[in-house]
Amino acid sequence: PTVQATRSNFTGVHRGRGVSYLEYFIGPRRGTVLADSLQSEQGWWFLHKGNRNMVVETAEEVPLRPGFRWLTLRQL
């Protein structure tokens, strides 16, 4: 799965809806981390803003939730 969320989104600062599939990236259900890097947000345009990019492999099959779809790399 893919997760895109700000820190305030996934920590619930604004009491919004939870972030789907976040448990596969943090917490006890987290899979094996294959890559984890911090990168700047569009260079100098957003100075001091960053993105954390992770690739995580899961041992279990990840269930499909409503509103989501699995695609192969070729389909992308």
Domain layout of the chain by residue ranges:
7-57
The CA-atom distances, in angstroms, between 21 and each of 1, 17, 41, 65 are 7, 12, 23, 9
Give mean pLDDT, residues 8-20. Answer: 79
Q: What integer pLDDT is reported at residue 11 of this predicted model?
A: 77
Quick: pLDDT tens for 34-74: 998 888 777 666 677 778 888 888 888 889 999 999 888 89
The predicted model scores a pTM of 0.68
Q: What integer pLDDT is reported at residue 27 of this predicted model?
A: 76
E-assigned strand segments in 7-47: 32-40
Q: Are 20 and 28 in contact (CB under 8 A)?
A: no
Q: What integer pLDDT is reported at residue 22 of this predicted model?
A: 86
Q: Which residues contact 39 (CB under 8 A, 6 or more apart)?
A: 50, 51, 53
Q: Are 2 and 16 in contact (CB under 8 A)?
A: no
